[in-house]
Amino acid sequence: MFRKAACVFPEKRRVNSAPHAPDQQDWLLPAEPRSAGDAPWPSPAGVHIMRLAGVAVNAVGDMAMREASEVETFDATAVNSARVRQPLYAARKKIFPKRAEGRFRRFKWIVMLITLGVYYLTPWIRWNRGAFAPDQGVLVDLANRRFYFFPIEIWPQEFYFVAGLLIMAGFGLFLLTSTVGRAWCGYTCPQTVWVDLFLVVERAIEGERNARIKLDAAPWSANKLFRRIAKHAIWLLIAVLTGGAWIFYFADAPTLARELATGQAAPVAYMTIAILTGTTYVFGGLMREQVCTYMCPWPRIQAAMLDENSLTVTYNDWRGEPRSRHAKKAAAAGQVIGDCVDCNACVAVCPMGIDIRDGQQLECITCALCIDACDNVMDKIGKERGLISYATLAEYESNRLLATAGGASAIDPRRVRDASGRLSDKVATFHLKKLLRPRNLIYFAAWSAVGLGLIYALLTRERLQVNVLADRNPQYVVLSDGAIRNGFTVKLLNMIPEPRTFTVTLENLPGADMNVVGMDHPAGRSFSVEVEPDKLKTLKVFVRQPHDSIAGPKQSFRFVVQDTASHESAQYDATFESPMEPVR
């Protein structure tokens, strides 16, 4: 079999998931069929010269290039590898991600605890709104058509607040993606959070990666059956709690919990829990990464949100290639080698089953667990962290040009290091000032504008509203004394959870008075009425004007409503209808 040196043809890399024979030299690649357009094989003398050229530089980093035996190597296969991507849909291949350790994994633990805590505990938080309103901090009260969020109460006609929050969420997601890629997917997406939670249970019961693989391949036994039943039972319990927590947002949580336990809850509550239990169990436990790959549209949309200065999880092949598991042997043989020891640690920890060394892929959720895994390996072999890192396309391209002499040759990692063997000062790195670019500033400005607009609307909104509807049949009535009477339906809305007394006054209609059907008080230009908390009061009001005060067939006037305690007021402009000629 023909073999060729990786330093000569770095673009022809070995498929990382291919099995290795124990005596195989990993810095050499299996032969591939040659086509007519390929360059000729290098002569033995040429290979010998290239080997000699690499000896000096490899000797400088001898302390850093330790044997791969010092680094744990994983027999991990990227089941969703970009090299073997299926055309549309493929049956799921099981992924057994290894637990990662590092700063990004710790950050994910913190995010998971916060998000799960917020979701499960929020319905149980109490907020005192007085005797006339529910005391649940966050409540979607469908029966009374209210949404309560601590001190804020949203009515149906104020749905623009919810729409504004959704718009802010959209701009926020655009800003986040433009800045740090799919960080939403990798850290805070419910699918990611619950899959992480299910994996915690799986590891606790079945063990770490190798133990789970061994258990999955083993024949059925009492031990395997017990572990599988225990795992799925806990998954189902988590799913039930997830569905139950959701419905607690739509009713008083303690009351609903008692009704659920005693079988007295409404059937829709049990149905909702059943549906959410099923979806949580299937999505989080059985489908996992397939939800992100095949069901979620965001991986296909995100490309429009990225540019060359967006941070994404990147394998820096300009310092990692050509990769080798036996650095000293490769150096002795005159091979130019990179920092990657081909240990597959990045593949082993990936929950999506990809190999980040294949480049950016649809499945990558930028959870950065591969960064933690690779950083730990670099620490062990005495190399700088960052072989896999958050980097921008602009940085990557700049460093790749440096490693390839402006694109004129194959990658040579010696070009990115100085005489001491450390990374050169010419290597491009990320600076926070790169975040201050026009796209991000526009997204942030739009997000801030919507937020400030909502805050202004919230602070200046009226908690008293009045609406008036004039009678259309008849438009007016001529009384026996010649006076004209118009009928109006007046609706007074008290939008706070406490009773209020409103004074309704007639303005800009000379000589007119009014009386209210069902209220025992003399006709006059004003009257007072009490409105219950969070209620609408509907009144039938008759406005009467003497015939000698009528100024024309249509006269504009105003209903003014004022809270006697807070002096908050609202007004409504109406029209008084009269005959074309005054009645005598």
Which pLDDT score is estimated for 430?
86
Judge whether residue 125 has pLDDT over 60. yes
Contact status, residue 220 vs residue 405, Cβ threshold 8 Å: no
Distances (CA, A) of 573 to 466, 542, 578: 10, 16, 17
Q: How far apart are CA 303 and CA 290, in angstroms?
A: 19
Across the strands, what pairs with 536? 493
Confidence band of 259 (pLDDT split at 50, 70, 90): very high
Helices marked H in 387-490 — which ranges? 393-403, 438-460
- Average pLDDT in the 302-329 region? 89
Contact (CB, 8 A) for 378 and 339: yes
Spatial separation of the C-alpha atoms in residues 334 and 51, rounded to whole Å: 3
Specify the range with the lowest mean pLDDT, choosing from 68-77, 372-381, 382-391, 414-423: 68-77
Mean pLDDT throughout 432-439? 88
Give the contacts of 400 (CB within 8 A, at least 6 positions apart).
317, 318, 411
Pair of tokens at residue 15 = 């498929």
pLDDT per residue as tens digits for the range 339-350: 999 999 999 999
**Cα dihedral angle (118, 124, 129, 133), rounded to 10 degrees?**
120
> For 397-410, how does the pLDDT look when each residue is reduced to its tens digit (9 = 90+)?
999 999 999 989 99
The pLDDT, as a whole number, for residue 283 is 96
Kindly give the interhelix angle for 222-247 and 103-121, rounded to the nearest 10 degrees.
Answer: 60
247, 273 contact by CB (below 8 A): yes
The per-residue pLDDT for range 491-542, each reduced to its tens digit, is 999 999 999 999 999 999 999 999 999 998 889 999 999 999 999 999 999 9
**Mutual orientation of helices 253-262 and 222-247 as an angle, nearest 10°?**
130
Name the 3-class secondary structure at 209.
helix
Helix axes 209-217, 190-206, angle to 10 degrees: 70
pLDDT at 99: 95
pLDDT digits (tens, 9 = 90+) for 58-73: 433 444 444 445 677 7
Single-letter amino acid, residue 63: M
Q: What is the pLDDT of residues 197-241, one digit of tens each?
A: 999 999 999 999 999 999 999 999 999 999 999 999 999 999 999
Beta strands 28-30 and 3-5, pairing class: antiparallel
Over residues 375-380, the mean pLDDT reads 95
- Domains of the chain plus CATH, in order, are 3-33+67-83+305-434 (no CATH), 103-302 (no CATH), 464-577 (2.60.40.10)
Q: Residue type for 408, please?
A: A
Token look-up 């919810």 returns: 162
